[in-house]
Amino acid sequence: MTARRQQRFLARAGVLVLLVIGSLYAGLPVLWMISSSFKPNTDIFEYPPKLIPGVATLAGYATIFTDPTKVRFFLNSYFVSLTVTLLTLLVAILASFAFSRYEFPLKRVLNVMIIGVQAVPPITLLIPYFGLVVFLGLYNTYQGLILTYMVFTLPYAIIMMTGYFNTLPRELDEAVKVDGGGSWTTLWKILVPISIPGIVSVGIYTFMIAWNEYLFALTLTKTVEMRTVPIGIQLLMGQHSYEWNEMMAMSVLGCIPVLVLFLFFQRYFIGGMTAGSVKN
């Protein structure tokens, strides 16, 4: 009996040690980022390096919050990401409803198209895309960025939402029909309210993609007041050569929205990722 308990204790200690080693690999770089953001820039490469800064300062953060250009990066990112999230959800819910509840001739073709475009690496389309956006008059505008991000977020949003709708019984639709409601009513009054978990996870994932996007934000905007946070961080690098503490402070601030979303909606994050993966 005691031997068994001892064995269990050892196993527990072993697992704990492995978990701690793993979390050093995952977490130390992040810890270093946070610690560097509180150091004066002169101490960044001090020897020997210290994880806990000898002199802690908020200078890095202060320069960001007092510079309207840098605050603008954040406002741009919030505006673009939130708009993309809302619009993607709206358009994806409509399309998923059709894919889940209707049989129509072009369904298969559209499905293949939506899954197929996911496989195209965005960077290969950059050059004609740039030309197209300039042609449409969307260069250096919010609309240009928002529509672009929607093209990237829609395919997986539709796939996930269709999967979610497929899990909801069709008898619900029938019940609405019996009660005299049309398909529009079925969708917005019945299916959408009970799909909130699926919608939340699609929304979070969409927000995360939009917030973190770099390549197209760099290509499709020109002026500094249109830049988003990822570009802003990179711009710091050119502007004042290597204000490391400021770059780290901006990085910390830049990942806070996603981190907060993750903390509050963990279960949707993880559960929702695979929600649409089961096809029937």
Residue nearer to other proteins on the CB measure, 27 or 55: 27
d(CA 160, CA 199): 9
**Residue 75 to residue 262: CA distance in whole angstroms:** 20
Q: Is there binding between residue 153 and other proteins (CB under 8 A)?
A: no
Q: Which of residues 182-211 bind other proteins (CB under 8 A)?
A: 182-187, 189-190, 193-194, 208, 211
By the 8 A CB rule, do 251 and 37 touch? yes
Helices (H), the chain: 2-37, 59-65, 68-101, 107-118, 126-135, 142-167, 171-178, 183-185, 192-194, 196-212, 215-220, 229-239, 244-264, 266-273
Q: Which of residues 122-151 bind other proteins (CB under 8 A)?
A: 124-125, 127-129, 131-132, 147-148, 150-151
Quote the least distance from Cβ 272 to other proteins, whole Å.
10
Site for other proteins in 50-69 (CB under 8 A): none
Handedness of CA 267, 270, 272, 274 (dihedral sign): negative
Closest approach, Cβ 62 to other proteins, in A, equals 19
Contact pick of 33, 59, 86, 224 for other proteins (by CB under 8 A): 33
Best CA proximity match to 95, nearest among 177, 26, 161, 142: 161
Contact between 240 and other proteins (CB under 8 A)?
A: no
| Distance (Å, whole) CA 189 – CA 195 | 11
**Other residues' Cβ atoms within 10 Å of the Cβ of residue 47:** 5
Among 55, 58, 62, 172, binds other proteins (CB under 8 A): 172
Indicate which single residue of 6, 42, 69, 274 sits in contact with other proteins (rule: CB under 8 A).
274
> CA 172, CA 76: separation in Å to the nearest integer?
41
**Considering CB under 8 A, how many residues would be counted as binding other proteins?**
102
Q: Which 254-273 positions form the footprint of other proteins (CB under 8 A)?
A: 254-255, 258-259, 262-263, 266-267, 269-271, 273
Contact 197, 268 (CB under 8 A): yes
Residues in 67-126 at the binding interface with other proteins, rule: CB under 8 A: 91-92, 94-95, 97-99, 101-102, 104, 106-107, 110, 113-114, 117, 120, 124-125
CB of 160 to other proteins, least distance (A): 13
Does 18 contact other proteins by CB under 8 A? yes
